[in-house]
Amino acid sequence: MAGKRKDVVMVVTGLVLLVAGVVLAVTIKEPEGIMRYLPFLCIGYGCGIFGGGMGSLSGRRILENNPEAKKQKEIAEKDERNLVIGYRAKAKAYDMMVFVFGALIISFVLMETGIVPVVMLVCAQLFVLGYGLYYRMKYENEM
């Protein structure tokens, strides 16, 4: 029951943010400072939260009415084969991301983009690589 309440709260919160964003966007004629962005942030977050809550709520309702589908979902979530497939897919995506970030950084440098975006990309790349290295060392020590 707590999960259902959480989903309902997410739906209501999303709707409130969405309506607040639309009202702000329509009523403020000449926005300045943060008010230029706030309505659209509210609309974006409101849509995301509302969609997530409605998806969870409708999925929960479908599973409540169909015990066979609920059983199949539980089996699929706990199946080791599916877990391994997911982990392998994440590993491949991580490997690809390393090269994509590197190519993007090089292309930004060659296009003579400002220093700030390049440094931000380099910091993001180093953070992800450091994160991966940390967990690799942690898991090697555990096993």
Task: Give the three-state DSSP class for 139.
Answer: helix
Do 88 and 73 fall into the same domain? Answer: no
% of the chain surpassing 70 pLDDT:
99
Each residue of 46-78: pLDDT tens digit? 999 999 999 988 888 888 888 888 888 888 777
Do 10 and 71 fall into the same domain? Answer: yes
Q: Is the pLDDT of residue 30 over 60?
A: yes
Average pLDDT, the chain: 87
Q: Is the pLDDT of residue 1 over 70?
A: no
Task: Give the three-state DSSP class for 37.
Answer: coil
Do 29 and 84 fall into the same domain? Answer: no
Q: Is the pLDDT of residue 3 over 80?
A: no
Query: What integer is the mean pLDDT of 125-142?
Result: 88
Please report which confidence band the pLDDT of residue 16 belongs to, taking 50, 70 and 90 as the band edges.
very high
Do 93 and 54 fall into the same domain? Answer: no
Residue 46 burial (10 A CB sphere; 0-12, 13-18, 19+):
buried
Q: What is the pLDDT of residue 22?
A: 92
Distance (Å, rounded) from C-alpha 141 to C-alpha 88?
A: 21
Do 73 and 8 fall into the same domain? Answer: yes
Q: What is the pLDDT of residue 14?
A: 93
Do 21 and 65 fall into the same domain? Answer: yes
Distance (Å, rounded) from C-alpha 134 to C-alpha 126?
A: 12
Q: How many domains does the chain have?
A: 2
Do 43 and 93 fall into the same domain? Answer: no
Nearest to 117 by CA among 125, 126, 108: 108
Do 27 and 10 fall into the same domain? Answer: yes
Range of the domain at 40: 2-78
